[in-house]
Copies of this chain bind each other. A is one copy, B any other.
């Protein structure tokens, strides 16, 4: 409970701060991209720690499963609820009760704020994958909070 709370509170503070520091920007795009970048570096660092003693991954799907299970559990204390793929480099990770949206009211009027609360995590996944040799673009989408979907598009090198 406590660790989660620490991360959640700090995450909220970071959003508030970045949002105010980048307030010159109308589109909120810069705020989101700063948060994404932070997530990227944190994701890189975390994966480095987590995989120190694990065996080499078999393939891309194996890497994605690691992200959905071990990685997600470490950060969010639960697994991804559903992983789907078109077997052509697109993966959709669905979390039915995403922890960082959990504190927001589910009302539609807050949907506009969702991107700020998802940007860090998009970066986290991208950074994690990147350090496992998988280059990707990660986006997120919310229809009804606190459920959300992360779409991972693998960039073939």
Contact = CB atoms under 8 A, between A and B. Distances in A.
Interface stretch (A34-42, A86-94, A108-116, A139-147): A34-42
Interface string A1-41: 11101110111011001100100000000000010001001
A57 interface: no
B1 A49 contact: yes
A146 B14 CA distance: 25
Stoichiometry, as copies per complex, reads 2
B75 A6 contact: yes
Given A10-B11, A41-B9, A17 B34 contact: yes
B5 A7 contact: no
Contacts of A2: 46, 49-50, 74-75
Interface of A: 1-3, 5-7, 9-11, 13-14, 17-18, 21, 34, 38, 41-42, 45-46, 49-50, 74-75
28 contacts: A1-B49, A2-B49, A2-B50, A2-B74, A3-B3, A3-B7, A3-B74, A5-B45, A5-B46, A5-B49, A6-B75, A7-B7, A7-B10, A9-B42, A9-B45, A9-B46, A10-B10, A10-B11, A10-B38, A10-B42, A13-B38, A13-B41, A14-B14, A14-B17, A17-B17, A17-B18, A17-B34, A17-B38
